[in-house]
């Protein structure tokens, strides 16, 4: 689909320059210098020849077909050049030039113009305002970057071009290899999701890593990323997390950064691993790119030093991995091959004077143990330590196993040559134990993601028709909020249990209603103009007989009129008084990038004071709904403490999933809350006691 960017047969550089130091020179010279074997055409109306190649005034003058162009000319000329590209039948355009969306109103117009032309001719565009693309396997360096990384298993994309330069500079000196290296720039057309899709089946890309500041279409990201992570790991650094960070994003690229909560939820739901820094991004990706997959959480540590062994152990435990419990035969084998002072339990300490033979013995034993899923080999450069020779042996042993082995040769000067040897054997080295553990943790998470079965979406039998008609009616009346009875109608249409309830227009009707429902009852004023009923004394609880019903009816109507003289009063709602239970809140807010963001938590102080809530993006699978419950700190309270019976967890899941279906079916719901959802003991269900809906204005839907 995007092959024309990565393996074009021919490339034209529009704006190819003769003066070294100019970007148009840099791009052309990179294409030529790093061995591209296709046809290359410089385009420059003012030159006959650039860098020894015949130059053409426009792309239309090129004799053969042109698959891809790289555009390096001032912004105002780009639209007309795109038109020419279209006529020429170009499939892919990398626009390096800046001065588009990132540069204000004029630039936004220019970018739209370019994109319209591209769409007309079905040209895919990377950029504008980017560094270019490097495809080491082709090989093709269609960028103005200083250097060309070797081939490797990492497919990299970044919204920040400057970050590309920094990473390339680092990768070059470390010898890190890439399958793809893409600077996305303004993402006028090709974005993260397109590349995820393109790289899903590409065998050279063993791991995909992304630096992103914002996404255009969150739901599409979720759909695609969820598939891709079934095939290969995807690791993302998302910046602009905090409030101040988000401001910087807006001023930088004009992307409207989605709320942090929504991204967090999206990464969880798709299995995209999140790194909290570029350093961790590469720590993880090296393990994925160079080592076989980790298939468990049990790690063995081989070390010649106690201290670092402890540090690794600490890190393992606090990250949720496990120090593998070695089999008795492994322990016996270690005891025979190691001196008495060695520790033959995990972490296996071959002690300070260990030569290569002890490392070999210990590593072999660990790898042969079926309780061990992966091994970290720690080496400190002590007096007798044989650094290179040990690296050789580790490399050979690791090459003959299906289990991942990570190096942790600590130090720099003396251990440097050993680290180089490890890298020849495709073993990444981490300078500190915690970082090696971090890489294994990422691998364990990916393994966990792949173990998951495909998400199961329950589809409940609901009455969409009623809700559709109700929303239309409400919006035709110019309202965005719903009356109580309307909210109840929606809940019922989606099978959500609400208190039994009758709208009474007179005190007599109210008494009849109360008697049919059974005492005690709750009474609430019914008016579309009064949203926060409790605040005006519009709700009365625990009404126990007919006299109290009559008194309450009059009181509620009086208060409503006092609050707002011209309020439309439909009557009084007489409701079943829900017996006590755990109070839950389920809310939905519409995130600009991701759509319906569903919140779950315990009500009252848990949500208000402790902020003990969790989020997912709808639609949710059954497993996701159940994970939400597990994630909150107060989950124990739902499970029952001090001999209480557990709450009806199934009823909670059912409610979450029905709400998920509702807000997915009706994008016009911009906000909704069920607060509280009163949950009774196991098997006794849950009742939505109060709820609130806010709809989108009709006009804004067309955006």
132 is a site residue for its own copies (CB under 8 A): no
Would you say 163 or 536 has its CB closer to its own copies? 163
Q: Which of residues 361-380 bind its own copies (CB under 8 A)?
A: 380
The span from the CA of 232 to the CA of 500, in Å, is 51
Residue 377, strand partner residues: 302, 407
Candidate residues 7, 382, 401, 466; the one interacting with its own copies per rule CB under 8 A: 382
The span from the CA of 516 to the CA of 511, in Å, is 9
Question: Are 168 and 146 contacting, i.e. CB atoms less than 8 angstroms apart?
Answer: yes
Q: Which of residues 26-45 bind its own copies (CB under 8 A)?
A: 26
What mask, x for binding its own copies by CB under 8 A, covers residues 203 to 222?
--------x-x---------
Cα-atom radius of gyration of the chain, to the nearest Å? 32
Candidate residues 32, 355, 503, 610; the one interacting with its own copies per rule CB under 8 A: 610
Token pair 């005492």 in the structure block, residue: 519
Tallying the residues shown for the chain, one arrives at 703
Candidate residues 67, 434, 486, 576; the one interacting with its own copies per rule CB under 8 A: 434
Candidate residues 34, 36, 100, 144; the one interacting with its own copies per rule CB under 8 A: 144
The closest alpha carbon to 99, from 132, 116, 68, 77, belongs to 77
Task: Give min distance, CB of 443 to its own copies, in A.
Answer: 19
Task: Give min distance, CB of 385 to its own copies, in A.
Answer: 8
Torsion, CA 122, CA 126, CA 127, CA 128, rounded to 10: -40
Would you say 80 or 241 has its CB closer to its own copies? 241
Say which residues have a Cβ less than 8 Å from residue 574's Cβ, sequence separation at least 6.
501, 502, 503, 504, 510, 513, 514, 517, 521, 522, 523, 549
Provide the 3-class DSSP secondary structure of residue 474: helix
Question: Are 2 and 198 contacting, i.e. CB atoms less than 8 angstroms apart?
Answer: yes
676 is a site residue for its own copies (CB under 8 A): no
Provide the 3-class DSSP secondary structure of residue 567: coil
Candidate residues 370, 532, 580, 636; the one interacting with its own copies per rule CB under 8 A: 636
Would you say 28 or 560 has its CB closer to its own copies? 28
Candidate residues 1, 19, 454, 641; the one interacting with its own copies per rule CB under 8 A: 641
537 is a site residue for its own copies (CB under 8 A): no
Would you say 544 or 645 has its CB closer to its own copies? 645
Question: Are 586 and 692 contacting, i.e. CB atoms less than 8 angstroms apart?
Answer: no
Task: Give min distance, CB of 145 to its own copies, in A.
Answer: 9
What mask, x for binding its own copies by CB under 8 A, covers residues 332 to 361?
---------x-x-x-x-x--x---------
Q: Which of residues 150-209 bind its own copies (CB under 8 A)?
A: 158-163, 165-170, 172-174
Question: Are 408 and 376 contacting, i.e. CB atoms less than 8 angstroms apart?
Answer: yes
**What is the per-residue DSSP string for 90-151?**
--EEEE----SGGG-HHHHHHHHHHHHHHHHTT-EEE-SS--EEEETTTTEEEE--SS-PPE
Q: Which stretch binds its own copies (CB under 8 A): 118-126, 288-296, 309-317, 484-492?
A: 309-317
Q: Which stretch binds its own copies (CB under 8 A): 12-20, 316-324, 362-370, 547-555?
A: 316-324
Residue 378, strand partner residues: 303, 408
Say which residues have a Cβ less than 8 Å from residue 291's Cβ, sequence separation at least 6.
398, 404, 405, 406, 426, 427, 428, 443
435 is a site residue for its own copies (CB under 8 A): yes
Q: How far is CA 186 from CA 95, 97, 620, in A?
A: 10, 11, 31
Task: Give min distance, CB of 479 to its own copies, in A.
Answer: 30
Q: Which stretch binds its own copies (CB under 8 A): 219-227, 237-245, 287-295, 355-363?
A: 237-245
Candidate residues 32, 47, 323, 694; the one interacting with its own copies per rule CB under 8 A: 323
Q: Which stretch binds its own copies (CB under 8 A): 120-128, 188-196, 240-248, 389-397?
A: 240-248
Residue 349, strand partner residues: 303, 343
410 is a site residue for its own copies (CB under 8 A): yes
240 is a site residue for its own copies (CB under 8 A): yes
Would you say 479 or 633 has its CB closer to its own copies? 633
């Amino acid at each position: 689909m995007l092959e024309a960017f990565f393996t074009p047969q021919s490339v034209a550089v529009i704006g190819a320059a003769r003066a070294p130091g100019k970007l148009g020179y840099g791009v052309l010279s990179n294409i030529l210098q790093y061995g591209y074997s296709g046809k290359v055409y410089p385009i420059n109306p003012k030159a006959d020849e650039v860098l020894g190649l015949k130059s053409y005034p426009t792309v239309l003058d090129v004799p053969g077909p042109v698959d891809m162009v790289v555009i390096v000319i001032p912004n105002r000329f780009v639209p007309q050049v795109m038109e020419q590209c279209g006529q020429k039948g170009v499939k892919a355009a990398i626009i390096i030039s800046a001065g588009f969306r990132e540069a204000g109103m004029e630039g936004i117009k220019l970018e739209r113009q370019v994109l319209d032309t591209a769409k007309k001719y079905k040209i895919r565009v990377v950029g504008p305002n980017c560094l270019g693309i490097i495809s080491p396997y082709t090989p093709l360096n269609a960028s103005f970057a200083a250097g060309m990384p070797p081939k490797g298993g990492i497919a990299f994309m970044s919204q920040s071009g400057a970050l590309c330069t920094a990473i390339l500079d680092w990768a070059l000196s470390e010898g890190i290899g890439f399958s793809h290296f893409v600077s996305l720039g303004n993402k006028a057309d090709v974005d993260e999701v397109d590349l995820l899709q393109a790289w899903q089946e590409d065998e050279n890309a063993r791991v995909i890593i992304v630096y992103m500041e914002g996404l255009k279409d969150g739901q599409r990201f979720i759909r695609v990323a969820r598939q891709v992570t079934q095939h290969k790991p995807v690791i993302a650094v998302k910046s602009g997390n905090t409030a101040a960070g988000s401001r910087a994003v807006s001023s930088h690229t004009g992307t409207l950064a989605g709320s942090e909560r929504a991204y967090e939820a999206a990464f969880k739901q798709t299995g995209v691993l999140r790194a909290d820094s570029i350093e961790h991004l590469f720590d993880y990706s090296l393990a994925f790119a160079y080592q076989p997959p980790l298939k468990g959480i049990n790690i063995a540590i081989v070390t010649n030093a106690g201290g670092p062994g402890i540090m690794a152990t600490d890190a393992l435990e606090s990250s949720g991995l496990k120090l593998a419990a070695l089999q008795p035969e492994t322990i016996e084998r270690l005891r025979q091959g190691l001196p008495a002072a060695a520790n033959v339990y995990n972490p296996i300490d071959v002690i300070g004077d260990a030569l290569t033979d002890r490392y070999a013995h210990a590593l072999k034993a660990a790898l042969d143990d079926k309780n061990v899923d992966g091994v970290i080999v720690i080496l400190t450069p002590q007096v007798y330590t044989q650094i290179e020779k040990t690296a050789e042996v580790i490399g050979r042993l690791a090459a003959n196993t299906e289990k991942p082995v990570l190096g942790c040769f600590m130090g720099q000067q003396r251990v440097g040559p050993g680290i180089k040897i490890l890298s020849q054997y495709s073993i990444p080295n981490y300078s500190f134990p915690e970082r090696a553990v971090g890489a294994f943790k990422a691998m364990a998470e990916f393994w966990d993601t792949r173990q998951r079965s495909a998400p199961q979406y329950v589809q409940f039998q609901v009455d969409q028709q009623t809700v559709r008609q109700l929303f239309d009616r409400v919006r035709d009346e110019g309202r965005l909020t719903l009356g109580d009875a309307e909210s109840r109608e929606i809940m019922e249409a989606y099978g959500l249990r609400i208190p039994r309830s009758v709208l009474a227009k007179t005190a007599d009707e109210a008494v009849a209603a109360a008697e049919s429902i059974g005492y005690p009852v709750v009474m609430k004023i019914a008016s579309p103009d009064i949203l926060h009923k409790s605040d005006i004394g519009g709700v009365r609880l625990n009404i126990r007989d007919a006299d109290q019903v009559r008194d309450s009816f009059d009181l509620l109507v009086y208060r409503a009129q006092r609050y707002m003289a011209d309020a439309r009063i439909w009557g009084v709602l007489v409701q079943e008084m829900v017996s006590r239970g755990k109070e839950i809140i389920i809310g939905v807010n519409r995130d600009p990038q991701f759509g319906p963001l569903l919140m779950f938590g315990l009500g009252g102080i848990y949500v208000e004071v402790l902020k003990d809530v969790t989020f997912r993006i709808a639609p949710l699978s059954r497993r996701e709904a159940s994970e939400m419950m597990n994630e909150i700190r107060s989950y124990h309270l739902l499970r029952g403490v001090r001999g209480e019976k557990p709450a009806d967890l199934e009823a909670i899941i059912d409610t979450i999933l029905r709400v998920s279906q509702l807000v997915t079916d009706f994008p016009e719901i911009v906000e909704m809350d069920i607060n509280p959802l009163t949950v009774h003991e196991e098997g006794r269900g849950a009742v939505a006691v109060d709820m609130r809906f806010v709809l989108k204005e009709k006009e804004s839907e067309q955006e």
